[in-house]
Amino acid sequence: MTDNVRPIREEPRRARPGHKVRMSGQERRLQLIDIGRRLFAERGYEATSIEEIANQAGVSKPVIYEHFAGKEGLYAVVVDREVQRLLERITNSLGGDHHPRQLLEQAANALLSYIEDEPHGFRILVRDSPVAQSSGTFASIIVDVTSQVEHLLGDEFGRRGYDPKLAPIYSQALVGMVALVGQWWLDARQPSRGQVAAHLVNLAWNGLSRLDPAPRTQAQMQAKQDLRRGGATG
């Protein structure tokens, strides 16, 4: 699912009360995307109707069908644009030859800054998408980011003498932690973005810096102790 129209932040021309401004096809498309994005975020896909989008845009329903072939098509374009915005931020944050802790901080800040700047977009991404698609959801973004983090951790594990094959476990844990905190912070908004990022990095980095190369659960350690006792009395 792709949209050939590049994201444009400028607002389409608006008519003054009692005056109608004729928009170009490009301007009308951007207006419909903007209105659909806001309504989908506020009410969800099912509760948003073509009629309401058309009314708020001051057009008839056929205009929406002309541009997007219906509500599903408009929703797909809105989601695709948000996916590209968020993925670009996070991918850029993981680039460069920086210390792993700095990369972790940059990635956390990239997600949180997107939530802060684009709350409507993030609300749309974290909803269960009603449109059948193999990509273009928050889950698909998490998969892409996790793969990048896995490579970074694998290299770092190799340098520190840990088994690089375990990197997928830790990349899933790290990315999942940041993603879930981001969803919580979307509504909480306290503490500040910088504080949230600092606490995420504090937990993640201090945990990574004190990794046990061969961790065991309490149950596993108890079972090993029991086995030793059994062997000693046998």
In a domain, 219, yes or no: no
Length of the chain: 234
In a domain, 232, yes or no: no
Domain count within the chain = 1
What pLDDT is attached to residue 212?
85
Say if CB 113 and CB 193 are below 8 A apart: yes
Token pair listed for 176? 């999942």
Distance, C-alpha 210 to centroid of its chain: 28
In a domain, 10, yes or no: no
In a domain, 49, yes or no: no
CA distances from residue 182 to 174, 176, 231 in whole angstroms, order as listed: 12, 10, 50
In a domain, 150, yes or no: yes
Contacts of 141 (CB under 8 A, 6+ apart): 83, 86, 87, 90, 125
In a domain, 32, yes or no: no
Distance CA 136, CA 131 (A): 10
Distance CA 115, CA 188 (A): 12
Which H helix or E strand runs over 96?
none
| CATH number for 101 | 1.10.357.10
What pLDDT is attached to residue 20?
55
In a domain, 196, yes or no: yes
Which H helix or E strand runs over 26?
helix 25-43
In a domain, 11, yes or no: no
Tens-digit pLDDT profile for the chain (234 aa)?
Answer: 445 444 444 454 554 444 455 788 889 999 999 999 999 999 999 999 999 999 999 999 999 999 999 999 999 999 999 989 999 999 999 888 888 889 999 999 999 999 999 999 999 998 755 554 545 578 888 888 999 899 888 888 888 888 999 999 999 999 999 999 999 999 999 999 999 999 999 999 888 888 888 888 999 888 888 888 876 665
- Domain of residue 194 covers 79-213
What pLDDT is attached to residue 137?
75
When computed from its CA atoms, the radius of gyration of the chain, rounded to whole angstroms, is: 24
State pLDDT tens for residues 132-182: 454 557 888 888 899 989 988 888 888 888 899 999 999 999 999 999 999
